[in-house]
Amino acid sequence: TKEIQLANRPEGTPTDKDFNFVEKEIPAIGTDELLLKTLYLSVDPYMRGRMKDQKSYVAPFELNKAITGGVLAEVIESKSDKFKQGDIVNGTLDWAQYNVAAAKSVQKVDPSIAPITTRLGILGLTGLTAYFGLLDIGKPQQGETVVVSGAAGAVGSVVGQIAKLKGAHVVGIAGSQDKIDYLINELGFDAAVNYKDDNFKEAFKKAIPNGVDVYFDNVGGEVSDAVIFEINRNARVVLCGAISAYNNPQADIGPRIQWKFITTSSMMKGFTLGDYAHDFKTGAQELGKWLQEGKLKYEETIVEGFEKTPEAFLGLFEGSNLGKQLVKVADP
């Protein structure tokens, strides 16, 4: 079996050379352990941060050790009375074709609720991030204008749809015409603008005739400068991610327009999903309910093959994904 290790701490944008595929033996499992076959891997922008040797809310990946992330797997062998062969589980596991894991470190996935891949997306980390960040910090009210950047991605697409459910005027920002069309035609956003267009700022201003009450920020940088410039009185800026800066060798400057917060009595608050760990069940239940009622839609971009994992990860920084980016490793 193979695992993917971090070979270097990338300077700037990572490349294929920063990942090593290494053969390893599958160890025998002990009491309360499971042998797991990887079905799907999640690649996520936050993993770029873990490739740096810096103090953060999660420890850095170790060099020449397997990268870990969200994995959906099938139980092949179980020495735990909580799991049986054939069960599907979800956990933070090695980027490997097979894992041996403690039974208590994974959660069972019920395939009757929704397709299992939703546990790595809309009913998992990215859906919950959208749910808690928007509702607890953004607090969108009926008729308010909610702007979300990274709008066609895993988190952003859920943010916009929940904001619509709350009766807001929703404006998405994304990086291609196809994504703009998807947001408006498929997800029901009121407007969407392409930040790569030359006339982005003018187009954006047209899309927000009543200013911005909530800004859910997934990207940071110049896109966010443009949005924050337009915030209304008592606006809420939710700092979720800053993908535009993740590959910058130097720390990004900013926030660059503090005076806007002063003159509008607005607030800006960051968060990580772990802040809401005590409430995951509530969030997952409500998201699951909306999904079953057809009130939420989701998209997945799935590349096939374990060896394509680095490529799928690097694609996040080029915007090659619509919705959640996953890697399919094996069939159940």
Please give the residues from 65 up to 124 whose contact with ligand NDP meets the rule CB under 6 A: none
Distance CA 129, CA 169 (A): 20
Q: What is the DSSP secondary-structure string of 220-244?
A: -HHHHHHHHTTEEEEEEEEE---GG
- Cα-based angle 42, 45, 46 (whole degrees, multiple of 5): 100
- Of 177, 221, 215, nearest in space to 196 by CA: 177
Contact characters 154-173, ligand NDP, x per CB under 6 A:
xxx-----------------
Is residue 255 reached through a cis peptide bond, with omega within 30 degrees of 0 on the bond before it? Answer: yes
Residue 240 vs 291, nearer CB to ligand NDP: 240
Contact 146, 173 (CB under 8 A): no
Q: How far is the CB of 203 from ligand NDP (least distance, A)?
A: 15
Q: How far is the CB of 309 from ligand NDP (least distance, A)?
A: 15
Please give the residues from 170 up to 209 whose contact with ligand NDP meets the rule CB under 6 A: 174-176, 179
Q: How far is the CB of 227 from ligand NDP (least distance, A)?
A: 12
* Residue located via tokens 């090659």: 320
Contact characters 17-56, ligand NDP, x per CB under 6 A:
---------------------------xxx----------
Q: How far is the CB of 175 from ligand NDP (least distance, A)?
A: 3
Residue 36 vs 219, nearer CB to ligand NDP: 219
From 117, 124, 321, 327, residue interacting with ligand NDP (rule: CB under 6 A): 321
Q: How far is the CB of 174 from ligand NDP (least distance, A)?
A: 4
Amino acid occupying residue 140? P
- Of 25, 3, 1, 55, nearest in space to 310 by CA: 3
Q: How far is the CB of 1 from ligand NDP (least distance, A)?
A: 27
* H/E stretch holding 200: helix 200-207
* H/E stretch holding 283: helix 280-292
From 237, 240, 312, 327, residue interacting with ligand NDP (rule: CB under 6 A): 240
* H/E stretch holding 159: helix 154-165
From 69, 138, 150, 310, residue interacting with ligand NDP (rule: CB under 6 A): 150
For binding to ligand NDP (CB under 6 A), which residues are involved? 44-46, 125-126, 129, 150, 152-156, 174-176, 179, 218-219, 223, 240-244, 271-273, 316-317, 319, 321, 325
